[in-house]
Amino acid sequence: MPREVTLKVGVGKNLKERIVEIPDNAPRPWDGSDDLKYVGKRVPRVDGRDKTSGRAKFTFDIQLPGMLHAKFLRSKYPAAVIRKIDTSKAIKYPGVKAILSVQDKLPLIVRFAGQEILAVAAETAHQAAEALKLIEVTYDVRKFVVDKDLAKEKNAPTVFNTQVEEKLTEGDLPGEHSEVTQKGNVRGPNISPKDATPEKIDAALASSFAVVEATYRTQVQTHSAMETHGVVVDWTAEDKLKCWASTQAVFAVRDELAGSFKLPKSNVRIITKHMGGGFGAKFGVGIYGVMAAKLAREAKAPVRLMLDRKEEHLCVGNRPDSVQSLKIGADNDGKLTGIKLISYGTAGTGTGAGTSGPAKNIYEYDHFYSEESDVFTNAGPGAAFRAPGHPQGAFALEQAIDELAYKLKIDPLEFRKINTPNNEIRQAQLKIAAEKSGWARRNPNPGADKGPIKRGIGIANSVWYYFYGRNFQVSTQVNNDGTVKVTNGVQDLGTGITTVIVTIAAEELGLKPSDIQVSIGDSEYGYGPASGGSVTTGGLSPAVRDSAYAAKMKMFEIAAPMLETTADKLAAADGKIFIKENPDKSLSWKQVAKKIPGDNFIAIGERKEDYHKLDIGTIHGVQIIEVAVDTETGVVKAERVYAVHDCGRPMDLLTTESQINGGIIQGISYALFEDRILDRNTGIMVNSNMEQYKIAGALDTPEIESVVLNVHYGQSSTGAIGIGEPATVATAGAVGNAIFHATGVRVRELPMTPDKVLIALEAMKGASS
């Protein structure tokens, strides 16, 4: 029987009442009137002790008796046909137990340098590496292309001769599957809206008061998680597989392995207790997982196959690059009229170079047209990477918006307000960001600083979407000694879902976070979400709360006769169960637990459909960044960041803020440092290490002030929404805008390295003299 509850919903303290229908056995959703003890506060990481003491065991650390070490032989050429592989010497090398090709039959077509050819399992990693050197591969080397502009040309070598099926993972945007044509190396264009033609947008822009048009380029970024991709596989019986995997999706890995080896799902167990980062690249089992399982079966021994840093850069995913030609216009009152985006990029042998998300979903205007294409090149495949397509799109869009604002002589922050009039959340965020950063004090004229070091301040908007998944199963077990354990299959890739689970359960049960044990990261537990697309917290947290709530109700049933009352009159807090009207009449949690029949009980919570659709389906963010530009050397330093984001109701502020701060710093790293460089003459990555593929360090990080704007929707029992993606969307665009404000020069290409900045400055000098 559903029941109606009246909730306080809205943005920040601006709340109004909303009637929401919820199931009878569900708790009243947390809303704006609830001040909770742990939820939304700063609860330290529950796995912090294990991680700081080195006791946390990652897949990388798993050692099994008799375990073999496997390594791939990878193509040294970017394009080739392999017709012959001679392993006769390698198989005799001491310690070698199995050698298997990735493809049963030759020829094997190689499409990028680093593509897997075969794998060797040996008693030590060193033996496997040495054996690889003894394998003779006969390459029929083909012409290749790694430059996306050359790849678009008519006579370019084609990467694929057949139509490419788009493969999406849980990190990609749902519904982005595109039915488009493929010609040569170009897959597309994907035109949006579906029935649109360029004429209409061109006419709209032509009649606009002001128009800006420019081309922006973004680079390929590799995920570079600290723990590389990999698995440890153990066949515990002929038809039973146990696999430790560094993955963002234990259930997807289980399904893929079960499928590959035609095993029942119940015979495959995936374990991910601690996981060293993924950022979107670790959804499936990967060819490494399948090969490790094959080698283990062949050698009849457990096999460890972890990639090395170079393989990580080459083969298991990256953020595709882009070239975006963007034309936008506005009326003389500053209202945007339309956006036209022509975009292409390469995800190597993969797809997913679209960039139109921000252009479509941040501002309010009438006319839109976009063409997006994937260009195939002989390079490692792209993969979902923290807000796929969005940092790229926002880098272009947010600079164009800025440029248009300057052209119209409208304050860039004000311009953003004018063009998001119906988005209450964004309006609130822009206001907070302006106050925090002292935006009003900023010099309106770009390049105003005297001296070689020039400072500037830039702003950019962020956007992402609310996804949450369904049918997750969380169980709360209460033992008769009062201990509580919450269990779900979900993996924690470092973002902190373990702590979120503890926080919610403690809140609901009236216990302390330290009273709650959590078991996660195992496909034999209840179904949990894949960690991607900012789904995990919004998806799982209501099931956690509902499960804890059900457990609490059972405890109330047990306690009711003890307190001579009925269950509906009881409440739980501070380790006690008491009568709401008369809190002095109470029992300790443990006293009640003692009366649990048998040993324990388990209460299940299931993630169901939200109670209602959100009025605004997007999640937002505003970032304001201050930079210092050394105009003598071109060096840019991000000095200070003010970030305002929303994620419904935050569950644990420490993890939420860490997601925001991490998103910003990763964004700065993307804006200033990171760049996968392929040698166009050899097709080989020249910086496949951490020496020359540069990632931001502690000294490169700005001071960050982040604000989480509470937004209460009452859409689920927790009201939580994810935050991982939106935190990194705005940053590069804001840095670009800050560089412009500092110097008067636009740098339209990522990464904004000293050479590009200095050349842009020189070009301006040349133009003005």
Partner 1 sequence: MLTFYLNQNKIATSLHHGTVLLDFVRRESRLPGTKEGCREGDCGACTVLLGEIADEEIKYRAVNSCLLPIGSLAGKHVVTIEGLNLRENTLLQNAFVDEHASQCGFCTPGFILSLTDFLLNNPTLNFEEAILAVAGNICRCTGYESIKRAIKLLLTEVESRIELSLDKRVPELVRTGQLPEYFNTIPQKLARLEFDVEPENPGKIVAGGTDLFVQQADKLLKQPLQFIDDGQQSREIYRENDQCIVGASATMEEVRKTPVFREILPEIDTYSKLIASKPIRERATLAGNIVNASPIADFVILLLALEAKLILQIGSASRTVDLHNFYLGYKKLDLQEDEHIHNISIPIPNPGFKFNFEKVSRRTHLDIASVNTAAFFAVEENKITDARISAGGVAPIPLLLKNTNAFLQDKIIDPAIVESAMKIAAEEISPISDVRGSAEYKRRLLQQFIFAHFHTQFPELIGAEVLA
Which residues make Cβ contacts (< 8 Å) with residue 338, sequence separation at least 6? 201, 204, 205, 208, 328, 329, 365, 366, 367, 368, 369
**Measured from the CB of residue 48, what is the shortest distance to partner 1 in angstroms?**
3
Cα separation, 319 vs 222, whole angstroms: 6
For partner 1, the closer of residues 211 and 635 by Cβ is 635
Q: Is there binding between residue 19 and partner 1 (CB under 8 A)?
A: no
Contacting partner 1 (CB under 8 A), which of 687, 710, 744, 764?
A: 687
- The rounded distance, in Å, linking the Cα atoms of 85 and 79 is 16
Residue 543 Cβ vs partner 1, minimum distance, rounded to whole Å: 23
| Residues 115-144 contacting partner 1, CB under 8 A | 124, 126, 129-130
Nearest distance from C-beta of residue 550 to partner 1, angstroms:
30
Q: CB of 649 within 8 A of CB of 724?
A: no
Whole-number minimum distance, CB 676 to partner 1, in Å? 11
Told to check if 12 binds partner 1 by CB under 8 A, we report no
Query: Can residue 758 be called a binding residue for partner 1 (CB under 8 A)?
Result: yes
| Longest alpha-carbon distance in the chain | 91
How many helices (DSSP H) and strands (DSSP E) are in the chain?
18, 32
H/E stretch holding 643 reads strand 636-646
- Shortest spacing between CB 277 and partner 1, in angstroms: 4
Which residues are CB-contacts of 133 (< 8 A; sequence separation ≥ 6)?
none
The beta-strand segments (E) located in 299-435 are 303-306, 318-319, 322-330, 336-345, 367-375
Q: Rule CB under 8 A: is residue 514 a binding residue for partner 1?
A: no
Gyration radius of the chain over CA positions: 28
Q: Does 680 bind partner 1 (CB under 8 A)?
A: no
Question: Cα-flanking dihedrals φ and ψ of residue 158, to 5°?
Answer: -90, 135
Kindly state whether residue 512 participates in binding partner 1, applying the rule CB under 8 A. no
Site for partner 1 in 444-473 (CB under 8 A): 451-452
Tokens describing residue 649: 């109701």
Confirm or reject binding of residue 180 to partner 1 (CB under 8 A).
no
CB 647 to partner 1: min, Å: 16
* Cβ-based nearer residue to partner 1, 547 or 666: 666
One character per residue 277-316, x = contact with partner 1 (rule: CB under 8 A): x-x----------------------------xx-------
| Residue 400 engages partner 1 in binding (rule: CB under 8 A) | no
Candidate residues 24, 53, 163, 599; the one interacting with partner 1 per rule CB under 8 A = 53
| Interaction residues for partner 1, span 707-726 (CB under 8 A) | none
* HSE-CB of 108 using CA atoms within 13 angstroms: 21
Cβ 743 to partner 1 shortest distance, Å: 14
Q: Determine if 276 is a binding residue for partner 1 (CB under 8 A).
A: yes
Q: Residues touching partner 1: how many (CB under 8 A)?
A: 78
- Part in contact with partner 1 (CB under 8 A); list of ranges 57-65, 155-163, 366-374, 396-404: 57-65
CB nearer to partner 1: pick between 552 and 676: 676
Q: Which two tokens stand for residue 139?
A: 């390459």
Looking at the chain, how many residues does it have?
769
Interface with partner 1 in residues 224-243 (CB under 8 A): 224-227
**Quick check: 493 and 534 in contact, CB under 8 A?**
no
Which of 189, 196, 176 minimizes the C-alpha distance to 369? 196
Exposure b/e, 623-655, CB count within 10 A at least 16 = b: bbbbbbbebeebebbbebbbbbbbbbbbbbbbb
Q: In terms of CB distance, is 47 or 522 closer to partner 1? A: 47
Q: How far apart are CA 302 and CA 162, in angstroms?
A: 37
For residues 671 and 691, what is the distance between their CA atoms, to the nearest angstrom? Answer: 18
57 forms part of the interface with partner 1 (CB under 8 A): yes
61 lies in the site for partner 1, by CB under 8 A: yes
CB of 88 to partner 1, least distance (A): 22
d(CA 346, CA 364): 29
Binding mask 613-632 for partner 1 (x = CB under 8 A): -------------------x
Q: Contacting partner 1 (CB under 8 A), which of 666, 716, 737, 743?
A: 666
Q: How far is residue 25's CA from residue 219's CA, in Å, rounded to a whole number?
A: 51
Looking at 82, 205, 704, 723, which residue binds partner 1 (CB under 8 A)? 704
Scanning 10-18, 250-258, 553-561, 649-657 for contacts with partner 1 by CB under 8 A, the matching segment is 649-657
Query: Whole-angstrom Cα distance, residue 372 to residue 323?
Result: 10
Residue 589 near partner 1 by CB under 8 A: no
Interface residue with partner 1 among 219, 378, 669, 715 (CB under 8 A) is 669
Work out which of 14, 25, 33, 52 binds partner 1, going by CB under 8 A. 52
